[in-house]
Every structure is written in structure tokens, then in C-alpha cells.
Structure 1
Amino acid sequence: MRQTQAKAVAGMTSAVLKKTKMSKTSGEKSGEKTEKDDEKSVESMTWKERWDFLKGNITVEPMLACYIIPSVFASLATQNLNLEKACRVNLGYSTEVCDALSARKTENYTYEEQEVQQLVASMGVWKTILQSALPAFLIMFVGSWSDRWGKRKPCMLLPIFGELLTSIGLIVCTYFYYELPMEVAGFIEGLFPAMTGGWFTMFMGVFSYIADVTTVDTRTLRIGIVNVFCSLGIPIGLALSGVLYKKIGFYGVFSISSCMYVMALYYGYTQIKEPKKIDKPVLKSVPCAFFRDFFDVRHLVDTFKVAFKAGPNNRKMKVMLLMLVVMVVIGPMHGEMNVNYLFTRYRFNWDEVDYSMFSTYGMITNLIGTSVSVGVFSHHLKIDDGIIGIYSSMSKILSSFVYGFATTSLVFYLGAIVEILNGTSFIAMRSIASKLVPSDELGKLNSLFGACEALMPLIYGPMYSATYAATINTMPGAFFILGGVLTIPAVIIFGWFYCQHKKDAKLASLDKENGIPVVNNTISEIAVFTIAPKEVQIGSPVLNGFRKDAVQNGIVNKSFTDDSGTIINDNNKKY
């Protein structure tokens, strides 16, 4: 299962920097740079100075690129390996039949194509469970353990190692082509990423590391740079996937992926330094002390209390409804990933290159739509978060009917245009959440959202695979319609939030008059923290970057500061 959620950040980062205001703390009075001062200094730099500044601030980005790109472009070859093995090994069809199916000459082999796809789709049910169940369980503990001990590198390197083992295993499956059936390849594809955390753990580690080694002044820029690498890495991987498979086959694709994973591991191990943690805990002298500390359920209890904590303005109801929004917005994306390629292959007779071209096109339209939504509708027109969530969800619902009933490639391409605004719904949800709880609970709230997101492949993946396998002979696009119907609750919930916002506005104005600070992060400010592919912030302090009170001195994670509240980075330099 590869993550495909990516949003536009490059054109948005400067706007976010201009909007974010730093509080008047004592640190500023003593000569600390404000965000405005930093922005002016960057603007006054020459191109060479800007390049040197960029190089000096790059840490995790090359490693992230060497993780995302091979993960994406190898996914198409993996799906084709499953299809080929299902045809030649499991079903035992002749070389003539399987070669015709691979060449997309399916006029006389419609029945065989259906049988192959049904077999692959049925495997997708248990493979998705394997890929999602263990990470969804582990991610609840990994983030908390990482925060307590200040260990970020294991969270970043282990997922890369898992993908490396997967690539090597798929090379073995290719070598023993007729000896190993499709199920072995599917098991290898799901087992190693599940054991090492996959994309969930990777992005949790990356964004936690960025939060640890940056000041609040530079954090927005650094998060923006990371998101640019993510946003560019996925389209590059999608564009290369079909071409590379056609040119160099299974061995070439999996070998290149393995080499890039080795490069990522080497870079991460040698170039990324763990930040120094001041108050590192000590393990108790008891048997299995590490595992007892790692799986300490008390940290989970504190997190889940946030969801059921009573508060003003229907806080409890709002938090629970937002958790439901996460499920109905993220779920269809995970479900469609499992069967999209199979659908286009069967419905439009597409090959690998055709599908990679459409995937790249869809990603670009999504980036454009998200940029317009965040930059124009939210930042300039000040449209309410609830309204943005409504039209974003409606974009998804309408596009599902276009995709589901499409009979030609042109109509299917038009579906991406209809879906162009869909990428903002998750950001709108995060923006609403940031205004719902105080900053010291925002990390816990996003841990809950991340847990809900991690569980969605476990639910929607098997659901979509089973739906596609059951309807391939009658209406192969039925799973799109299913996704549209399941997204309807998001429209209703966003509408309810819009109505509640109108009611809460009066209370917020009264609080402001009484000197009570009001959290009012906008979508454009939230965007840089929420739009990377598969960003699960379990236990991560990154979203607490909005905390700018004088007591905290603007610092998110005080464990990485000295007594004066100064951040210490990985090179023991103070900011």
C-alpha cells in the first residue's frame, strides 16, 4: 500500500511566513530575531547566499526523497508482478494467454482477465490487513516512546530498512518466478513495512525531528521544504513507474529501489544527528524494562482522554465528529489505491504507462486545486473552514460518479478536474481542530486523528477490494460510487461546524474582550503541518508549533532546550 496524498506547499510557504505573528516575549526584547526580521534577511540575500542557506538547512530531505520516489515507482511493478503470477502460476494459464493480457490484447480473453483480477483483488483483502493492523497498533506507542527518549533516527531508518527488505524479497520472488505463487509476493510486500512501521512511522519521525532542531521562527520554512520534497517526490515516482517497468522490467525496478533505499539508510545514519535531550528518562531495573516502557498504556490513556473531555461550546461532540471526518475523508483514498489500477486496466485496457500518466496528471491537478483553495479561498477571501470542507467533500462526491460511470478515458480524465478541490478537506479538518483545543492538547488530538487514519486502510482496503471483486462482471466502477456515498457524512459534519462557528463567534469575541487568548489558526497556517503524504503526527510535537506564549518562550519541546529556554540543535548550536 503506497500513500498518494500530496498537496501543494511551495507557493504557499511564503504566504504562511507573512501571516504568522510571533508573540511579544521577553526573548524578543533581548534581541532575538522575529519572523519578520528573518523574512527580511532572507529577502536581502543574494542567490548564492540563498543557496548556501538552503544547503545549510537541509537535513532529512535527501533521505526522504530516496524513500518516497522508489516506494512510489516500485508500486506499479509490484502490482504487475502479482497479476503476472496470478495468471501464470496460480491459475496456470498458457504463455499465449498471459502474454496477451500483459500486452493489453484482451479482446478474446475477457474471462481470463476477470479471473486474474478477482484473484488479485481477493488477495488485497488480507494483504491490506497485514500492512495496516500492526502499524496501527505500534504507532500508538512509537511516538510516545520517541518523545520520551528523544529517539528520532530509529523512526526514520526502520521504515527504510523495511522497504529495502521488501525490494530484496520481491527480487527473490521474481527469480523463483514459477516456484513461488502470488501469495508469497503479497506476504513479502506487506510483512516488512508492517513490522518496521511504514509511512506512518517515517513521517512521524521526520516531522518530530524537524520540530526538535528548529526554532519557531524557522520551523514553518523547514516544514515547507520537507513538504515540497514530498509533493515533488510522488509525481516523479508516478511518472517514472510505468516507463521504468516497460524499459527494465521487474529486476531493474526492484534493483534501483534497493539502491536508493541503501543510499537513504547511509545518508540517514551518517548525516542526521540525534538532537541532545536534557531530561532523558532512566529504565527501571526490572525484567523486560524496554518493552514495559515502550508499551506503557498510561500514555495512551492520556491521549484518549482528550476525545472524551468535556469543554465549552460542545467540545466533546466536535472532537468526536472530527474523528469521524478523518475516517470518511481519508478512508476512500486508501480503498481506491488498492483497486484503481485494476479498474483502469479492465475498464479502459490501460497499460502501465497509461496509468502512470493519469496518476501524474491527477496529482498535478490536486496540487493546483489545493493551492487555489488554501491561497485564494482561505488566505485572501477568508472563507470559513466549514464552507471549504463542504465544497472539498462535494468535489469528491461528484467526481466519484464521474469515475464510476466513465466509459471512455476522456471522461475518466475529466473526473480528476471535478475532483480538483478534494485535497483541502483534510486541511480544513486540521484547521478546525487547531481552534478547538488549547495548544498543550493539540499534539494529543492529532495523535487520535493519526490513529484513526492508520486504521482506515484496515477497514477501507478490504471493503473496496471485496466490492471490486464482487462487481467486476456487472459494474466495475461500483467502488467509486461507494466512496462517494461514504463521503456524504463529511458534508453534513462540515455544515454543522459552519453553523456552530456562527454561534461560537459571539462567545469568542467576548473572550477576546476579557483578555482570554483565542486560538485562531487558519487553513493556510495549518497547511504546512498537514499536507505531506501520510502524515501521522502520533506523539509528535510538530503541530504544537502554534504555541507562542511567553512562558514557553515559543518552544515546542522543552526537553531539547537548556535552562534559559534556548533550543539546542543536532550540532549543539543554540538559536
Structure 2
Amino acid sequence: MGISMKKTLTWLKLFIFNISIEPMLFLFYAAKTTVSVVKEDLKLERFCLVTLNHTQEECSDLIHNDNIQIEVQHLDNDFLFFESVVGMVIPLIFLTFIATWSDKHGRRVPIIAPMTGFVIWCTIYFFEALFPTWPPEILLIATFLDSCGGGFTTFLMGYYSHMVDITSENTRTTRLGIVMVVKNLGIPTGQVMGPVLHHAGGYLLVFGSAAGMSVICIIYAFIMVKPKPQNKISNDSSNSPFCNSIKNNLVQFIRTAYKRRPGSDRLCIIVLLFGMMLVNSSQPHKLYLWTRRVLKWDEDQYTLYKTSSELIGQLVMLIFSLIVKFGKVHDCHIGAAVTLLLWSKLISLGLTTRPDQWWILYLFLISPDSFGSMTVRSVLSKICGKEDIGRVFSLLGIMEVIWSVVDNAMYAAVYDASIKYYPSAEHLFGAAITCILFAIFLWVKWIQDWDTIHQKTQYSNSRSPTDASHNEIPSTHIIISNAHIQDRETATDNHIHHHVIADIMTSEAITPNALQNNKDDISLSASETSQTNSQGNESYHYSDVD
């Protein structure tokens, strides 16, 4: 008994002393989701009262005033598109350099800057609620100033990179799992808090509380996340102009993603990057506006659904993860299955036209929608390898920011055209996108299987009595040898490696003399270019665990 209690106390002590930014993540996610529904109500109210000049009585009962609600939702739909445009530019710039910069200086800035932007956002919404005559267009300023902190994508990159920095390989998976659980618990907490605070003290209490929680998070992060010591910061970080740094990073991302690779790997990466855009476009977009228009829901009913969705979603994710782990299912098969479930959900929502069909939304709470993006990232990481995945994920983040504008433009056009006669049309549009995504997952699995069979055939032919000799080595062995050469010359031979691979892939078998010549060429070229490449290639670690 005494030994067991001692072990428990020791474990508890280690757990407490290992706590890092987990409490901050819980509180900040709660703050973000506290305002998620209430902010939409404020915008709808301002469009109705200020822009359209309707009376308070008419605007307080939009659910039962179809004509006014259609007018208001038209304005809000257009506003959401402009928000996506205004909020894109600065995060796009941030993503091209902040990860490399934080590798040298620490993660404090990419964690604190987005939270500071959110505090400014809450402050402007607070004053918008305080002065009823202010037009809703002022809220675009809030979106822009929020984006000046780097946006939520920068925050994700910052806290994930920090957790990678402070954990060992043995404990990293467990710690990241704990982080995911903690932050996800903050989401339903905030969704419950929002309506409660709104009923208790109106908009001012909601936005004031969210700003206060975010300030606490900033102070906590400032204390817990330490910058790197100055003597560990590379002296060459100030030699490159800011614009050149952004350009060079972006070029590196693109070259890494589209460089020549064995088999069909490069084509698979290109297709999967496009597939990730479709994953984002296949999710329901105007869900809150749609539930108000079709199901006649109010804020409380929608919040109940979203809270249930988050809680049940976590349980479904856990069960699905266990099935995937012990069932040893291929990633592409998982993606295809999840996409098929999502297609069924969108088709069902697309055919929903009456308030008494509300149960359809709850029926699909068991659909693990987020597994689509996780599957794409998993397949990408396995194709790219550890040395390239950081840059590929960075390019993916940039593409997602740019695509969000295209995505919002498409759905804004669909919803605007259909809101009066058939508002569920946007779900049918999403279902059509999932068909393409489903085909992508199956194609990637097929092409990978084909590459495997082709490589085995080549290897068998190279070992046949008519072709094999002691002076010949299969090209697959050359590629492996070349990978070892690249490991020794990581800082200087990226460009040379591409040409060597290209030469190797054109021949069925290469003699040891040719291999030695390739090694000599690489060593010579690497030494000749060491002066021009003294800065090396910075490691860019970014992955989104969300």
C-alpha cells in the first residue's frame, strides 16, 4: 500500500511539474468559442437595425419574419466573404517566415501575437455593442487587426512547435494527445458559456469576458514560454532583408513540394495538396444561418447542437482511432470511408427543408468529419519523409489561407442564389465536392499499389540471370545509397541531389564505378558551393494537430 501510494504521488508530482501551456490552451479555446455564436447575432442585429433601418420589434423576431431574415442573411453572407479577404493578407505573410524565425528566437511571439490580435478584436466588438448606432462595417477593422497578430493558423503552428520543443520522442505522442484533449474540452465549455453570459449581461459581458480570458492567457504564455537565449540565435539572421526572406522561404516550400521523387510520389503530393483544399470545401459552411432559415432555430438551440457535436465528436474520434490502430486500415481507405459518410450527411442536409426534420443534424453527430484532414496529412507525411514534411505542411498552410477566399466566394455565391427558394442547396454543392475527394483517396491508394508492384517487378528483373552481374546494382539500391549521401551533405546538396536522382531514374542498372563517380561529383560540388550556401537550409517544423 505504501509503495503504491508513493508511486502515485511521484507520478502526480511529475505530472504537475510537466504542465506547460495546456491550461492556457483550454482557456483560450474557451474564449474563442464563447463569442462564436454571439458575434453572429450581433452582426445580424446591426444589419437589421442600422443598415436596413427596421424596428427593434421586427429585428428581435427574425426567425418568424422570412422576408427580413432573407435581407439580413444576404448582407451577412456578403460580409463573411469580405471578412475572409481582409483576414487573409497578413497571416499569409506571417506563414512564410514565422516558423523559421521562431526556430531561432523561440515560440513566444507566434503564440502571444495571435492572442493579442484576438483581444483587439474583442475590444472592437465590445464598443460596437456599446454604441448601437455604429454600422457593422466597423467590424471589418476588427478582423483586420486580429489578422495582424498572425491569425489562428499562426497560433496553431506556435503552440504545436512549442510542445515539440519541450518533449522527448518517447513522451511526445502522449503529451500531444493530452494537449488535443485539453484544448478540445475548451470548445464545448466556451459554447456553453456564450449563451449563459449573453442572457446574464448581454453582448458587453460576452466580449468583455472573452477579452479578459485572453489577457490571462497572454500573461500565462509570457511566463511559461521562454525565448531562446541570445547566444543561441544565429548571427546571420539579420543579414537577409525581410522581403528576401519571405521570397526565399516561399520558393523553398514550393521546390520541396514539387521536386522530383521516386515513382508517382510527386504526383501524389500535388493531388493530395489539392485534395486538402477539397476537404475544407466539403464541410458545411453557413450552418448557423441555415439552421435559422430552415429549422427556425435560435441561439440556444444551435449552441446545444454544437456542444453535443463537440462532446460526441471526441468520443467518436477516440473509438475511430482505436479501430484504425488495431484494424491496421490504410489511410486512404479511412479517408474514403469518412468522405462517404460526409457525402451521406450533406445529401441528407441538402434534402432537409422543414423545421420538423431537425433530427437529421443529430443523426450525423457520429460522423468523424475531421478524419478527412488528418488522413491527408498522414499520407503526405509518409510520402514526403521527415526531412521535407515541415516545408510541405507550411506550403499547405499557405494554400489553405489562399483557398479560404476562393472557398468563401463559392459558397457565398451559392447561398446568395438559393437562400430565398432553396437554402439547402449549399449542402448539395458540398456533396458534389466530396465525390471528387472520394475519387482522390481511391486514386492515391491505387497509384501507390501500382508503384509497389512496379518496383518489385523492376527489382526481380534486375536480379534475373540474364541481367544480373557482380558489377551491376539495381537502381533502387542507388536511390538508397544516394539518400545516405544526402544525409551527410544536408546543408548543401539539395539542388545536386535532384539531378543525381534524375540521372539514376533513367537507368535500369548502374555499375559501382558510376556510383562512385556520382559520390565524387556530389562531394566536389558540395565543397565548391559551401561558400554560397553558408547559411544552409533552416528546418521548418509545422504541423497542425487540430
| Bin for the TM-score computed over the shorter chain | 0.7 to 0.9
The farther-off stretch of 455-464 and 467-476 is: 455-464
Match of 2:413 among 461, 466, 476: 466
Hey, what's the Cα distance between the residues in 2 that align with 1:343 and 1:467? 12
1:396 offset after TM fit, Å?
1.3
Pairing 1:60-71 to 2, within 5 Å after superposition: 60-71=21-32
* Post-superposition CA distance 1:154-205 (Å, at most 9, x none): 1000111101011111111111111x111112x1341122111111010111
Q: Is the 8 A contact 2:114 2:151 kept in 1?
A: yes
The CA distance in 2 between the partners of 1:201 and 1:500, in whole Å, is 34
What residue is the counterpart of 1:248 in the other structure?
201
**Structure 1 residues 94 and 224 mapped into 2: Cα distance closer, same or farther (>3 Å)?**
same
Superposed displacement of residue 257, structure 1: 0.6
Equivalent runs, 1:255-404 vs 2, <5 Å: 255-276=208-229, 279-282=232-235, 291-292=242-243, 295-333=245-283, 336-337=284-285, 339-376=286-323, 378-404=324-350
C-alpha separation in 2, matches of 1:492 and 1:128:
29
Aligned AA (2:34): F
Does the alignment pair 1:151 with 2:106? yes
Q: Is 77-86 or 410-419 further displaced after alignment?
A: 410-419
**Contact kept? 1:368, 1:420, Cα under 8 Å:** no
User: Number of matched residues?
Assistant: 468
Match in the other structure for 2:144:
191
Task: Give yes or no for contact 2:36–2:191 (8 Å, CA) kept in 1.
Answer: no
User: Is the partner of 1:177 in helix, strand or coil?
Assistant: coil
Once the two structures are TM-superposed, the CA of residue 342 in structure 1 deviates from its matched residue by: 1.1
Task: Flag structure 2 segments of 5+ consecutive residues without an equivalent.
Answer: 460-473, 484-537
Q: Which of 78, 81, 89 is matched with 1:125 structurally? A: 81
Partner of 2:499 in structure 1? none
Partner of 2:177: 224
- Greater helix content: 2
| Per-residue deviation, 1:399 | 0.7
- For 1:55, the aligned partner's letter is I
1:407 aligns with 2:341: no
Q: Distance in 2 between the 1:196 and 1:245 partners?
A: 27
Residues 113 and 149 in structure 2, CA contact (< 8 A), matched pair in contact too? yes
Q: What's the Cα RMSD here? A: 2.8
Name the % identity: 24
Give the whole-Å Cα distance in 2 for the aligned partners of 1:406 and 1:371.
29
How many Å apart are 1:494 and its aligned residue? 0.5
CA 1:127 to 1:359, structure 2 compared with 1: closer, same or farther past 3 Å? same
Query: Unaligned 5+ residue runs, structure 1?
Result: 1-42, 520-537, 546-575
Q: Is the 8 A contact 1:125 1:466 kept in 2?
A: no
Return the letter of the residue paired with 2:407.
Y
**Secondary structure of the structure 1 residue equivalent to 2:148:** helix
CA-CA distance at 1:279 after TM superposition: 4.7
Is residue 175 from structure 1 mapped to residue 127 from structure 2 by the alignment? no
TM-score, length basis structure 1: 0.76
Is the contact between residue 327 and residue 456 of structure 1 (CA under 8 Å) also seen in structure 2? yes
CA–CA separation in structure 2 for the residues paired with 1:45 and 1:137: 52
Cα offset for 1:285? Answer: 7.5
Deviates most, 397-406 or 199-208: 397-406
The residue matched to 2:257 in structure 1 has which SS?
coil
The amino acid across from 2:127 in the alignment is V
With over 3 angstroms needed to count, the CA separation of the structure-2 counterparts of 1:46 and 1:345, relative to structure 1, is farther
Residue 96 of structure 1 aligns with which residue?
A: 57
Deviations 1:358-415 (A, max 9, x none): 1112223332332232211x21111111111111111111111111222345644434
Residue pair 2:31, 2:213 contacting (<8 A) in 1 also: yes
Which residue of the partner structure matches residue 28 of structure 1?
none
Aligned to 1:475: 422
- Deviation at residue 117 of structure 1 after TM alignment: 1.2
The amino acid across from 1:394 in the alignment is L
What letter is aligned with 2:61? A
Q: Which residue pairs with 1:23 in the alignment? A: none
AA matched with 2:29: I
* Contact residue 49 and residue 59 of structure 2 kept, 8 A: yes
- TM (normalized to structure 2)? 0.79
Whole-Å Cα distance in 2 between the matches of residues 233 and 279 of structure 1? Answer: 35
Larger radius of gyration: 2
CA deviation profile, 1:291-345 (whole Å, cap 9, x unmatched): 357x442222111112211111211101101101110002343xx44x2111111
2: distance between equivalents of 1:64 and 1:421? 23
Q: Distance in 1 between matches of 2:376 and 2:76?
A: 34
Q: Distance in 1 between matches of 2:80 and 2:543?
A: 34
Structure 1 SS opposite 2:36? helix
The one-letter code sitting in structure 1 at the alignment partner of 2:121 is T
